[in-house]
Amino acid sequence: MLEIRNLNFSYDETTPKTDLNDINLHIKKGEVILLCGESGCGKTTVTRLINGLIPDFYGGSVEGQVLINSIPVNENPIYETAKIVGSVFQNPRSQFFNVDTNSELVFGCENMGLPVEEIQKRLHDVVSTFNIHHLLNKSIFKLSGGEKQKIACASVSASKPQILVLDEPSSNLDSASTWDLRKLISIWKNAGNTVIIAEHRLYFLNDLIDRLIYMKNGQIHMELDKDNLISMDNKSFSQLGLRPFSLEELSKNKAALSKKPDCRNNSITLTNFKYSYGNTLAIDIKHLQVPQNEIIAIIGENGAGKSTFARCLCGLERKCKGQLKKEGKVLRNKDRLKLSYMVMQDVNHQIFTESVEDEILLSMDESSPKIEEKIEKILKDLDLLHLKEAHPMALSGGQKQRVAIGSAIASGKEIIIFDEPTSGLDLKHMKKVANNIKNLQKKGITLFIISHDLELILECCSHVLHFENGKVIDNYILDNIGEEKLKKFFINPFKDFNISLNP
């Protein structure tokens, strides 16, 4: 059904073998294929060749062929390819064409010229399949990152393509939404669709995958079938630089938990902390006390209020009411803005310069001594030194994420908030980010980490705030008891998965 023959590709038209080298791949109808490997290994580039974005939207030098049903993709108009191949991008916002959810869900169907009755039927079907009734008739701009991802997946599914290409589909999803995504992939599989997934998170796919394609430096380094995958343990995946296939085996990095945090004298205290979107109360915290100089995970389902809380915490939301005290001193919005730095969930919003090096410099005091050495160390620690002259917007999603993290490290602020800092990151770079976060904590910085990444939280966090409907429903230290609470939240949605995978 899908064949890639002797393919070489480079985004630089003068050098044909920079980004992909000698790619040969045959994918049968109905297969679920996982593309994995470190950030920048070529996964996203392969997906762009399959869905026709290369060469129609991304230029470069192409040698070889990509064929779907024996027809070369580059010889087919992209609107014809789009009828066969549906895509969900790493950043779903980049593929939206409407401002409301209902219009977005039926956009593809309308473009295909389907009858109104059929469009309404498909809308009803995807809403039921995705369990997104609560997202109907909403503004796209008011959705959380995970909710946007759900709308993107449902919109593509409504068009009923033969092949579905998903680029980091779980990167912004909470555990329950990842469970929904898993169910959807199984439904596509049972319906005989071909599904190609570029992913770093592996655990939710462990018995859905027919083949794993492991990429390295723009080449297919290894192929593993289902039998091979079943025989491998987490250590085997780690040796390949891949994330685990099972969350059950994970445990807390006890080195990240120093002593029991003391909130009495060295704390951040919130009282009657509230924020509303119009008449809807989004944050409602009567009293909350968290320790300073700790790494505090903020968890909860998509739409629970985590990102809104973060913006209020660092002073970005001027209409936030209530009081925040640090070491007994009340901090107003402008005080919090001076003390805080936030790495946003969509890092494209905070990339401003024309080189990675300048992006780091932008956050620094240029009069500080040995500034070039400091920049070089930050870039080296985040595996970005070789990209220091590159334009940030030309980088992969994971590389951009690390640039934004580098800017936060360079800022020297007392409170740093990371909103999904490891979305789109492989195992190696997730651990680099965790180590940098731990190093910041050693310098006396208080860190808040909004995350759906259990591995990151266990690697570096010492404290957990659990949000639900804008309220903190749990606040605990990540000791042995806390670890069990945390794993229950992340793993339980996967316990009862019992859908037949036979078409």
The rounded distance, in Å, linking the Cα atoms of 430 and 467 is: 23
pLDDT on residue 324? 95
Cβ-defined contacts of 325-330 (< 8 Å, 24+): 325/268, 325/269, 325/270, 325/271, 326/268, 326/269, 326/292, 327/266, 327/267, 327/292
Residue 24 lies in a domain: yes
162/113 same-domain check: yes
Taking only the tens place, the pLDDT of each residue in 93-134 is 888 999 999 999 999 999 889 999 999 999 999 998 878 899
SS3 call for 66: strand
pLDDT on residue 257? 59
Once rounded to an integer, what is the mean pLDDT over residues 37-41?
87
265/405 same-domain check: yes
Taking only the tens place, the pLDDT of each residue in 466-494 is 999 999 999 999 998 999 999 888 886 55
Count the neighbouring beta carbons within 10 Å of the beta carbon of residue 323: 12
pLDDT on residue 120? 95
pLDDT on residue 495? 46
Q: What is the mean pLDDT of the chain?
A: 88
Read off the pLDDT band of 256 (50, 70, 90): low
The rounded distance, in Å, linking the Cα atoms of 91 and 168 is: 9
Residue 250 lies in a domain: no
304/446 same-domain check: yes
For residue 426, the domain's CATH number is 3.40.50.300
Alpha helix positions (H), 284-390: 306-313, 333-339, 356-361, 371-381
Read off the pLDDT band of 499 (50, 70, 90): very low
pLDDT on residue 89? 85
The rounded distance, in Å, linking the Cα atoms of 242 and 263 is: 37
321/400 same-domain check: yes
Taking only the tens place, the pLDDT of each residue in 378-389 is 999 898 999 999
Once rounded to an integer, what is the mean pLDDT over residues 45-49?
94
- Pick the last residue of a domain from 203, 238, 273: 238
295/181 same-domain check: no
Residue 246 lies in a domain: no
147/111 same-domain check: yes
Residue 356 lies in a domain: yes
Residue 348 CA to its chain's centroid (Å): 13
The rounded distance, in Å, linking the Cα atoms of 486 and 250 is: 11
Query: Among 12-26, 347-361, 406-420, whose mean pLDDT is lowest?
Result: 12-26
Residue 253 lies in a domain: no
pLDDT on residue 492? 65
Residue 255 lies in a domain: no
Residue 502 lies in a domain: no
Cβ-defined contacts of 356-359 (< 8 Å, 24+): 356/384, 356/387, 356/388, 356/389, 356/390, 356/392, 356/395, 356/403, 356/406, 357/388, 357/389, 359/392, 359/403, 359/406, 359/407
pLDDT on residue 497? 40
232/303 same-domain check: no
- Pick the last residue of a domain from 181, 203, 238: 238
pLDDT on residue 67? 93
Q: Which domain holds residue 230?
A: 1-238
Residue 199 lies in a domain: yes
Please tell me the total count of domains within the chain.
2
Residue 211 bridge partners (DSSP):
33, 225
198/347 same-domain check: no
pLDDT at 46 over 90: yes
267/218 same-domain check: no
418/279 same-domain check: yes
The rounded distance, in Å, linking the Cα atoms of 49 and 26 is: 14
Assigned token pair, 161: 């393509």
Once rounded to an integer, what is the mean pLDDT over residues 305-319?
93
Q: How many residues does the chain have?
A: 503
**Residue 49 has what DSSP assignment?**
H
- Pick the last residue of a domain from 238, 273, 305: 238
363/397 same-domain check: yes
Looking at the chain, the whole-number percentage of residues with pLDDT higher than 70 is 95
**Residue 139 has what DSSP assignment?**
B
57/117 same-domain check: yes
pLDDT at 233 over 80: yes
